[in-house]
Structure 1
Amino acid sequence: MPSFPRTGGGRLARAVAPVLGFGLLIAAWQGGHHAYGPLVLPSPLETLRALGSLVTSGVAAQAALETARHALGGFAVAAVIGVGAGGLAGLWPFVGRMIDPLARLFLGIPSIAWVVLSLIWFAGTGLAPLFTVVVATVPVVIAGALQGTRTLDPDLAAMARAFRAPLAVRVADLYGPHMLSYLFPALMTAMGLAWKVAVMAEVLGGSPGIGEGLALARVNLETADALAWVALTVLLLLGVQGLILIPLHRALEPWRHVAPLGPESGS
């Protein structure tokens, strides 16, 4: 049976796979458009035109800034609280046992419930989307941080204490690097959830932002505009992940992004 060279095949596959995935999505989208019509599902081209109209009119930029303020502000607060709680749990197991049931409790509360409560508590203040993002995402970050501290080899921690390593050294060289393996997936999940919850709170609360544009598109039955707002949200999320979280992950854990040796790497 003939064999074919695989040199560079891994790189090619990694480059082609995302394009193929998006191509299949666009094809299915176009097929749905032909099946159900523009009122139910506008075509990708119609959605792109609607998005272009929102961008050129300046409406998209203003709404994106408001939603980004809600999503990124809430995410930043949740990240600080979650990482801090996880670090404390690693240093003092009693704190971890105290925080764990609270994190599980908050994870079980639906995001829509927090939206409704925040609209009651913060009506007229504009804080509802920000508060909803914080309470919806902080349990995700705490759960990841707790998992990272709990899976640390206790012998390593005991050895660090036996050699009287300073607290700063233990945090920077022991707890921190180990937590990163569990923390970054949690942060990526929390980032995606932050944008969803922010838009949801804006839709229901009438707050300025992408959610307000979605609500207006629903009232006017402008499905193309609604999909354009959704596309804008996804593009913003991918942009923030690609410009902030992924480069930060590469900087803190560069060894995870080194190409493996073998036929796929061209060796």
Structure 2
Amino acid sequence: MIHHMLSTLLNKLWSGWGTLAGVFLIFALWQIGFEAFGSLVLPAPMEALGRLIDLVALPSGFEYILITAKRAFAGFLLASAFGISFGLIAGWSNTLSLLCKPFITVALGVPPIAWIVLALLWFGGDDGTPIFTVFISTLPLIFAGALQGVRMREKELDEMAKSFHVPLIQRFWQVQAPQIVSYLFPAWATALGLSWKVVVMAELLSSTRGIGAGLAEARVNIDTASTMAWIVIVVGLLLVIEGMLLNPVKDYVEGWKHAE
């Protein structure tokens, strides 16, 4: 038991050092780019980080981050609710799964910029445009993950649980759900990352508040340092979400794979 805990801790520390090394490598390449092309093309990393601190210290800058986070999570949670529900229903029906395949292909093929234009016509420049764009862009991924999880589960385990007269609800939570989540989670994690990219794009074109609006202001002012600062904020938030939310959830839902 102690050996297993130490091994898990060392693996996590090694993973953390690997991530940190990757971040340092990015900053090193960034510094090389600054020295090669100048501050107008690529500002110095320390200049961008200083501008980041200034932006976060401003009430409006912190408000922009909260607004973007609210819109991204609102669209993502709506997509999760609808995508998982309909994906599970379609996965248990051969007819529905076949009917849904063309819709998934079409939905995945439409670029987010097209949804932004439609959302602008429907919702204007309010919260509805970025939230809807995140919802419609991430919904197909989550739906496909849930559907695939149901279709690819090991039916022999279901039959074995039935033979032991395990109740239906218990059979779903303890036998089927872990298998479904193992397929759903990668799509869900990808959709969460995509939601941040899409919401910033939608804000850039449609909103006067949020990180996307901050990027639009930096573009108008030809402020490369502020542009890079906003980009660092978005990437940093994604890394925090991955480390504090996605990885613990992944370890929990995939624990059954490593159970002895």
- Sort the TM-score into its range (normalised by shorter chain): 0.7 to 0.9
Match of 1:89 in 2: 90
- The amino acid across from 1:201 in the alignment is A
Q: Residue 51 of structure 1 contacts residue 232 of structure 1 at CA under 8 Å; is this kept in 2? A: yes
Match of 1:183 in 2: 184
The answer to whether structure 1 residue 32 and structure 2 residue 33 are counterparts is yes
Q: Residue 201 of structure 1 contacts residue 207 of structure 1 at CA under 8 Å; is this kept in 2? A: no
Match of 2:4 in 1: none
Q: Residue 79 of structure 1 contacts residue 138 of structure 1 at CA under 8 Å; is this kept in 2? A: yes
Distance 1:162 1:90 in 2: 23
Q: Residue 92 of structure 2 contacts residue 151 of structure 2 at CA under 8 Å; is this kept in 1? A: no
Q: Deviations over 1:65-112 (max 9, x none)?
A: 110111001111111112112221333332222222211210111111
Match of 1:154 in 2: 155
Match of 1:51 in 2: 52
Distance 1:160 1:87 in 2: 20
TM-score calculated relative to the size of structure 2: 0.88
The answer to whether structure 1 residue 65 and structure 2 residue 91 are counterparts is no
Match of 1:261 in 2: none
RMSD in angstroms over aligned alpha carbons?
2.5
Match of 1:109 in 2: 110
Structure whose residues are more often helix by fraction? 2
Distance 1:89 1:162 in 2: 26
How far apart are 1:11 and its partner, in Å?
6.9
Q: 163-172 or 200-209: which moved more?
A: 163-172
Q: Which has the higher contact order (CA 8 A, sep 6+)?
A: 1
Q: Deviations over 1:88-146 (max 9, x none)?
A: 13333322222222112101111111111111111144300000000000101111112
Q: 52-61 or 28-37: which moved more?
A: 52-61
Structure 2 unaligned residues grouped into runs of 5+: 1-6
Q: Deviations over 1:32-68 (max 9, x none)?
A: 0011100110011011000011011222210011101
> Cα distance 1:125–1:22, how it changes in 2: closer, same or farther (>3 A)?
closer
Structure 1 unaligned residues grouped into runs of 5+: 1-6, 259-267
Task: Report 1:1-267 matches (<5 A).
Answer: 13-158=14-159, 166-255=167-256
Q: Residue 125 of structure 2 contacts residue 207 of structure 2 at CA under 8 Å; is this kept in 1? A: no
- The amino acid across from 1:75 in the alignment is F
How far apart are 1:189 and its partner, in Å?
0.4
Q: Deviations over 1:182-240 (max 9, x none)?
A: 11111110011000000000000124100000000000000000111111111222222
Distance 2:206 2:108 in 1: 22
> Cα distance 1:67–1:121, how it changes in 2: closer, same or farther (>3 A)?
same
Q: Residue 41 of structure 2 contacts residue 224 of structure 2 at CA under 8 Å; is this kept in 1? A: yes
> Cα distance 1:157–1:180, how it changes in 2: closer, same or farther (>3 A)?
same
Count of aligned positions? 253
How far apart are 1:158 and its partner, in Å?
4.8
How far apart are 1:29 and its partner, in Å?
0.4
> Cα distance 1:141–1:9, how it changes in 2: closer, same or farther (>3 A)?
closer
Q: Percent identity?
A: 42
Distance 1:58 1:255 in 2: 45
> Cα distance 1:235–1:136, how it changes in 2: closer, same or farther (>3 A)?
same
Q: Residue 87 of structure 1 contacts residue 175 of structure 1 at CA under 8 Å; is this kept in 2? A: no
Q: Residue 89 of structure 1 contacts residue 96 of structure 1 at CA under 8 Å; is this kept in 2? A: yes
Q: Residue 87 of structure 1 contacts residue 145 of structure 1 at CA under 8 Å; is this kept in 2? A: yes
How far apart are 1:21 and its partner, in Å?
1.7
Distance 2:98 2:162 in 1: 21
TM-score calculated relative to the size of structure 1: 0.85
Distance 2:152 2:112 in 1: 29
Distance 1:154 1:118 in 2: 42
Match of 2:3 in 1: none
Secondary structure of the equivalent of 1:42?
A: coil
> Cα distance 1:84–1:24, how it changes in 2: closer, same or farther (>3 A)?
same
